Amino acid sequence: MRDSAFNGNNYIGAVCGYIKGGTIKNCHAVGTTIGDSDRDDSQYWGGIVGCMTGNNVVTDCTNSGTVSGCWNLGDIAGFAGTNTTVQRCFNSGAVTGRYARFGGIVGQISGARVQDCGNTGAVSEFTSSSGSQYGGIVGLAESDSTIQNCYNANKNTAAKICGSYSCDLFNCYYLPNDTGSSGSTVTGITAKTAEQFASGEVAYLLQGNRAEPVWGQTLTGASKQNYPVLNGAKVYQGTPCTGRYSNTKEELKHDYHDGKCIYCGEPEIAYTVTIPAEVTLGNAANAKATISAANVTLPTDKTLKVTVNGPFTATLDGYNDVTASYKIKNGNDELTTDSAVLTAQSGETAKTTTLTFVKPDAAPYAGGCPLTGCRANLRRGVGTPPYGCRGGIYAAREFMWDAVRRLLFFFQHWAGHTVENVSSLPGMDV
């Protein structure tokens, strides 16, 4: 329907005034005028259909005309009743209500479903005090109704998705009046800025994991689109920057400014810290481990600091009840808890330090003798076991020491704050 005008009392639509148990598909109202702003008794007016009750489907329809009246006004449908579905519909026209229940897609739903619909048209009241229950998608949503995968990009709509509702809302987005708004507290709807809409983020979220193409958006070139469109160009999320989107599968890197990616907020703190997966204390007097830091990228006034955290206790391999304390040295300096072993700043070349793990000369014995057939009754404490028993100190000295996976707790911090993107590295317990 194109460039036509419709007026009357009740049940008026550019395609159908009233329908029950039917389907309306692939219908489009372009430049049509539904209703009369001077009437004071009109209801059930819609850009496509005025009123539908009982097992109806309206799908793949669009409206760019205007609807104006009193009650139950929608740019797609005025009213949608039980077991009715409005899906994959889009509106760019204006709807204006005098009293109540008017929306960019449907004026009122009751036991109905509205899914995969979008609105960019103005939804407004005749005067600032006259209208109520109006929203970007639905004016009034009653119980047993669902609104899912929809968006409203008319920022002047008082209620972004629904004017009043007692229904379920899922995965819906809107453009707020204030670009600094943090969004609605209503579960199932989220505020997105104009930039987020234009980036393809909302189209990507609306599409979700569905294989069937529903939402898309052209993101570049002369045909660039600012908002998601039905059956549009597929949108992919970038990697490693998950805040960037593209119409092709490609690597999209972070763009750092003032220490953070302008797209996803990832902090510009990237470094590689390498520590050994295990340290073995054998019969040698000392064991060594090398710690290195490379590819350090930090704000110029920040420092990466690697510290060591005790207590430093080893366990005999195969016998967890045999323990001993040991020392760690960085050069000639014995380390204690919170001792710094390495620091690095952005732009520095790779830095390396070697730690020495000093095996104790004697170890206390705890528990039974590890050798089969030994009947020695050993006391806890330091001392030489009876002749013929090779437990205690002998075992602590001669057996290979267990891989001590918790020798060191390395943690990274700068200026007293925990680094946000610490990754789990071999041998690191964070």
- Least Cα distance to 77 among 42, 99, 53, 111 occurs for 53
Give pLDDT, residue 220: 95
Q: Decide if 202 contacts 232 (C-beta within 8 A).
A: no
What lies within 8 Å, CB to CB, of 193 at 6+ separation is 175, 176, 179
Q: Is the dihedral of CA 122, 127, 128, 132 positive or negative?
A: negative
Give pLDDT, residue 3: 67
Q: Which residues pair with 412 in a beta bridge?
A: 306
Give pLDDT, residue 183: 54
Q: Where are the domains of the chain?
A: 5-191, 271-418
Q: Which amino acid, residue 41?
A: D
234 CA to centre of own chain: 20
Question: Could you give the CA distance from residue 87 to residue 62 in angstroms, rounded to a whole number?
Answer: 11
pTM over 0.85? The answer is no
Tokens encoding 250: 């490609």
Per-residue pLDDT of the chain (430 residues; tens, 9 = 90+): 676 778 778 899 999 999 999 999 999 999 888 887 666 778 899 999 999 998 999 999 999 999 988 889 999 999 999 999 999 999 999 999 888 899 999 999 999 999 999 999 999 888 765 567 899 999 999 989 999 999 999 987 777 899 888 889 999 999 987 644 445 667 899 999 999 999 999 999 999 999 999 999 999 999 999 999 999 999 999 999 999 999 999 889 888 887 788 888 888 776 777 777 667 666 556 788 888 888 777 766 778 888 887 777 777 667 777 777 778 888 888 888 888 888 888 778 888 888 888 876 655 544 444 444 443 333 333 333 333 333 333 333 333 333 333 333 332 322 222 333 333 223 222 2
Q: Which amino acid, residue 31?
A: G
